[in-house]
Amino acid sequence: MKPEDMAKVPGGVQLFPMTAGSIVLAYNLKGIDAVKLSRKAYAGVFLGTVKRWNDPLIAASNPGVTLPDLPINVVVRADSSGTSFVFSQHLSAISDDFSRTVGANTMPNWPAGTKSKGNEGVTSSIMTTPGSIGYIEYGYAESQKMPMAELENKSGKFIAATTAAGQAALASADDARRHDRLGARSRRCADAYPIVTYTWLICYKKYPDKAEAAGDAGPAALRADRRAEGRRRRLGYIPLPANVADKADSAIQNLTTQ
């Protein structure tokens, strides 16, 4: 939630990160199982300025790979979503052109792209249309065994979306935090995947009684979530770093009764 949205809630809002996940660029190119995309290349793809798979910006990062002279079919979300917000926020951070012309939004006005609803729709569109590329949650791409591009990170390395690379991003994040929100801003880390975000539990700050507050966000619930690490991994999510989980536990003290 944005600060201005939180300010509209009587009594305030407390956000808790419950798990984390990567956003990937899945693609459909017959016979090509590995593609590296520089920041300029994939920002250009979603700006509509990089239009073909053999564009020099893509070819430069893939020596020895015969890229087809094929139009790039960009697939984007048709609906408002947190995935779109996080991805467009990332593109705004790495591309001044994207920040100026599109910007971060839950439903961006994409300059290029075929629109599909939900992660499921984007996944289906990519899989059924050769030459496609789109942004989806890692779990959807992994479950369908879709190729995922290695993306250039802040350190200039091309990184695949793995649990270890996602954890490296979270562990290296800037942990400056406000008392009502727990967030992270990526810092330079050689092994970090560049697009990782938390999944949030949203609570009121003030409740009629302690029982209701504990029911929404008690320490036991957060600890139980940590014990479900194996299930999160199978679904493609990233376990919270211990320091973030501990801060989520301590932030429960911010919840009060009216």
Question: How confident is the model at residue 72, as a pLDDT?
Answer: 98
Q: 119: helix, coil or strand?
A: helix
- Low-confidence stretches of the chain (pLDDT beneath 70): 173-188, 210-233, 258
Instruction: State pTM to two decimals.
Output: 0.85
Question: How confident is the model at residue 18, as a pLDDT?
Answer: 78
Question: How confident is the model at residue 171, as a pLDDT?
Answer: 78
Which CATH architecture describes the domain 3-21+163-257? Answer: 3-Layer(aba) Sandwich (3.40)
Domains of the chain by residue range:
3-21+163-257, 24-154
Query: For the chain, where are the E strands, in sequence order?
Result: 13-27, 36-37, 73-77, 114-116, 132-137, 150-152, 158-159, 196-204, 206-207, 256-257
CATH 3.40.190.10 fits 24-154, yes or no: yes
| Number of C-beta neighbours around residue 19 at 10 A | 19
Question: pLDDT tens digit string along 193-234?
Answer: 999 988 888 888 888 776 666 666 554 455 555 566 666 667
Do the domains at 3-21+163-257 and 24-154 have one common CATH topology?
Answer: yes
Helices (H), ranges, 62-188: 82-94, 96-101, 118-128, 138-143, 163-171
Q: Are 208 and 258 in contact (CB under 8 A)?
A: yes
Angle value at C-alpha 130, between 40 and 110, nearest 5 degrees: 45
Question: How confident is the model at residue 173, as a pLDDT?
Answer: 67
Q: Are 36 and 154 in contact (CB under 8 A)?
A: no
Counting beta carbons within 10 angstroms of the beta carbon of residue 32, is it exposed (0 to 12), middle (13 to 18) or buried (19 or more)?
middle
Question: How confident is the model at residue 107, as a pLDDT?
Answer: 96
